[in-house]
């Protein structure tokens, strides 16, 4: 099993450009998440999807949109990138059942907006 995969690993954008970050998991998990991590800071939740077909805003959703394409895939879109969106983006998945709350993280996408 590959676990959680993310593409691309690195990206440089100019202000105003758009892009989509891709995430896929092969663990048959119900819930998926997008976080951003700024230097020296923790993880802030952008959007999450508790189950296929549903998405909800997290702590910092402005400037982002998401799509839960199917159970495996959860994409994050920046419509008009801004320098404030320079960050490392992590996708995570979670089984969704009661009990264990462990989240599995992808390797991250390092995004720079000039």
Interface residues toward other proteins, by CB under 8 A:
31, 33, 35, 40-45, 48, 50, 58-59, 90, 94, 96, 100-108
Q: 93-96 contacts: CB < 8 A, separation 24 or more? A: 93/4, 93/25, 93/27, 93/29, 93/31, 93/32, 93/33, 94/29, 94/30, 94/31, 94/32, 94/33, 95/27, 95/29, 95/30, 95/31, 96/29, 96/30, 96/31, 96/50, 96/51
Min dist CB 32 to other proteins, Å, is 10
Min dist CB 16 to other proteins, Å, is 29
Min dist CB 38 to other proteins, Å, is 10
For tokens 């998401």, name the residue: 66
Task: Name the residue nearer to other proteins (CB basis): 57 or 77.
Answer: 57
Task: Name the residue nearer to other proteins (CB basis): 53 or 102.
Answer: 102
Min dist CB 4 to other proteins, Å, is 9
Task: Name the residue nearer to other proteins (CB basis): 59 or 79.
Answer: 59
């Amino acid at each position: 099993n590959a676990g959680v995969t993310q593409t691309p690993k690195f990206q440089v954008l100019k202000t105003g450009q758009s892009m989509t970050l891709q995430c896929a998991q092969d663990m048959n998990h119900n819930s998926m998440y997008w976080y951003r991590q700024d230097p020296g800071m923790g993880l802030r939740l952008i959007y999450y999807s508790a189950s296929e077909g549903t998405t909800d805003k997290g702590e910092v959703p402005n400037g982002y949109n998401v799509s839960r394409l199917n159970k495996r895939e959860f994409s994050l879109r920046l419509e008009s990138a801004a320098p404030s969106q320079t960050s490392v983006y992590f996708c995570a998945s979670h089984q969704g059942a009661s009990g264990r709350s462990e989240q599995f993280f992808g390797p991250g996408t390092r995004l720079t907006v000039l």
